[in-house]
Amino acid sequence: MSTSSALQGKTALIVGGAGGIGKAIGAAYVNEGARVVLADRNGEAAERAAEEIGAVTGVTIDVANEDSVKVAVADALTALGSIDILVNSAGIATQSSVADMDLAMWSETIAVDLTGVFLVTHHVLPDMLARGSGRIINIASQLGIKGGHSLAHYCAAKAGVIGFTKSLALEVAEAGVLVNAISPGPIDTPMVEAIDEEWKKAKRKELPLGRFGKPEEVAPTAVLLASDPGGNLYVGANLGPNSGDVMP
């Protein structure tokens, strides 16, 4: 049951919504009165998550495959009628030095973490432009700004997301569509859990808070950017809930 109304009457598509940050944002949006569709590569997990948080439905999406994106966006539009808010939260992270990284690892990360943001946005944006309103929120990473050891492919993709966000924001703000990014620090998600324990231990020591964030602690930033009037002046912004990790 909704306990607030900052997003009452709004509709949202959360990509990468079966778990982690995406699911937490979806839950926060439902709590704020929005009707939400969760999309994920694991469609069954998206359906389970949707039932758990009270979303409209879950759908399957492979963000690196344009045909899959088209179908998922069409399914979301059928379920919701329109998409007021798009959150691009799908992502993968693997570890390798550049010297040891093969093209397949590089290409997969770029395809999911960067090209996927373009593809979903490309197919959602026309509906927003036609209606003269919309919010697009891209989940980037502070590592897209500061870099990370053995994560060059991930960092390059997230830097691309930040650049894409800023450029698109300039294109569509006058048409009533506001585009922004969130660049969290390390967050306790299944994706981060898969990273080397030594890396995580060293990272925690760098953080003034001394701990990684929780997905639920990122979600309020996404609510702010999606809501009126809180998000009305953010155009091409890159907000960073990051446990105090200093960015250059």
Residues taking part in catalysis: 154
Query: By three-state DSSP, how is residue 86 classified?
Result: strand
How many CB atoms neighbour CB 1 within 10 A?
Answer: 5
Distance CA 97, CA 216 (A): 31
Looking only at the bridges linking them, the beta strands covering 177-182 and 57-60 are unpaired
Residue type, 149: H
The alpha carbon dihedral of 62, 15, 109, 166 has a sign of positive
CA torsion angle 206 87 225 123 (round to 10): 140
DSSP type of residue 18: T
Crossing angle of helices 43-53 and 20-31, in 10° steps, is: 30
Within 8 A by CB and 6+ apart from 233, the residues are: none
Distance CA 96, CA 116 (A): 21
What count of residues does the chain have?
248
Residue type, 121: T
CB 17 within 8 A of CB 26: yes
The alpha carbon dihedral of 71, 108, 222, 125 has a sign of negative
